[in-house]
Copies of this chain bind each other. A is one copy, B any other.
Amino acid sequence: MADLDVYKKQKFGQKIGFGQHPALLIIDFQVGFADADVLGGFNMLSAIEQTSKLLKTARSSKVPVAHVRFATEMQGDDIGTFAVKVPSLRKLSPDSKDAQFVESVRPKKGEWVSTKRHGSAFFGTNLASWLNSIGADTLLITGCTTSGCVRASTIDASAYGLRPMVVTDCVGDRAEGPHRANLFDMEQKYADLVTSKQVVAYFKTLKNK
């Protein structure tokens, strides 16, 4: 509460608003992140379910979609100290079961797709280039985890000149505390928080799709 007061006083957290050319980003909804015994937990399954619905609407609204997943080609030796902090990541080789996209949010032909080896969906990928090349100005951010790769991607979405929109019911985390704390940070500094319902309503306003 007191925290929020300081942010308000210093005028953090103003609204950005949707732009004219959205794209949907789905981060790391992989088999291992859907499993509480591997890298999942808390609200992951619900976030995946909501994202699967939003993905369908995005597709029927002809909104471009980007999919990214984490994978290591060298059992962790290609991801630097990330593999030291989080040794479980070493198992996520590209062909491992846990590294596969969850079935309900799988990429379709004609959608942008990439693996990545760090937190941000932008780092070591050409996501920013693709978004720029299609004229996207607004990035609808879904995936997991709120306190990890979603947060990292949101920071970079802001830095790359986009309007980052974190879809609150479509981002998941393994634990509630970090989930909430990161939503707070992202709203104050980098992104608007929106619900998938608001996004669907926004899709209806788009022309020239």
For A87, A129, A156, the residue with the greatest tally of chain B CB atoms inside 10 Å of its CB is: A129
Contact A129 B119 (CB under 8 A): no
* A57 at the B interface (CB under 8 A): no
Contact A81 B120 (CB under 8 A): no
A174 to B188, CA, bound (A): 12
* A101 at the B interface (CB under 8 A): no
What is the copy number of this chain in the assembly?
A: 4
Nearest-Cβ distance from residue A198 to partner chain B, whole angstroms: 18
What is the size category of the interface that chain A forms with chain B? 35 or more
Contact A131 B161 (CB under 8 A): yes
Contact B131 A11 (CB under 8 A): no
Interface bits A183-199 vs B (CB < 8 Å: 1, else 0): 01100111100000000
Known A10-B39, A80-B133, A181-B182; further 20 A-B contacts with Cβ < 8 A: A3-B175, A6-B42, A6-B175, A10-B174, A73-B113, A74-B110, A79-B126, A80-B132, A80-B159, A80-B162, A81-B163, A81-B190, A82-B159, A82-B189, A86-B189, A117-B126, A128-B160, A135-B137, A148-B185, A178-B181
